[in-house]
Amino acid sequence: MNEVMINNWNAKIKPQDIVFFLGDFAFAPQDKVKAILEQLNGNLHLCRGNHDKPLNSLHHYFTSVFDLKTISIQDEDAVGQIQFIQMCHYPMLSWDRIHYGSWMLHGHTHGNIKFDPKFRRIDVGVDNWNFSPVSYNEIKEYLNTNYKGK
């Protein structure tokens, strides 16, 4: 399975791409995690998950390591042409700018919390996306198709 996920990753992620990994990167011994990290394309940012303790001494493989982060993306289709995105390993019931078009991206639930069309909250774990990373445009398309809120 590791080989499949590494191949899927590198088929989609180019070396210059920015990637936010929302926790539970690897549930494996540190030497195996290091071997995987050394094979991955992209500029990696890690949101710590509950199974990421083996990464404590491998933080140098990541541009940043965080527990909660908000980013903004220039997007002419977004409110004010800026898409705000809240990221955390754990799903939130409420987040900054929830009523102003912001997204809440998370992992942790492995598809056990189904998408609620009233909210722009989505589980971006690879096990929900054919064991492949999901792009900004894929998330945008999914939310544009499935979000039925205000």
Distance of CA 4 to the CA centre of its chain: 18
SS3 64: strand
* pLDDT at residue 71 in the model: 98
Q: Would you write out the chain's pLDDT as a tens digit for each of its 150 residues?
A: 789 999 999 999 999 999 999 999 887 888 888 999 999 999 999 999 988 876 788 889 999 999 999 999 999 999 899 999 999 999 999 999 999 999 999 999 988 988 999 999 999 999 899 999 999 999 999 999 999 986
* pLDDT at residue 25 in the model: 86
* pLDDT at residue 1 in the model: 77
Report the amino acid identity of residue 5: M
Domain that holds residue 9: 2-146
**Residue 139 near residue 120, CB atoms below 8 Å:** no
Number of structural domains the chain divides into: 1
Query: CA-CA distance, 73 to 84, in Å (whole number)?
Result: 7
Report the amino acid identity of residue 96: D
Overall pTM surpassing 0.85 (yes/no): yes
Torsions phi, psi for 125 (to 5 deg): -60, 145
* CATH code: domain of residue 126: 3.60.21.10
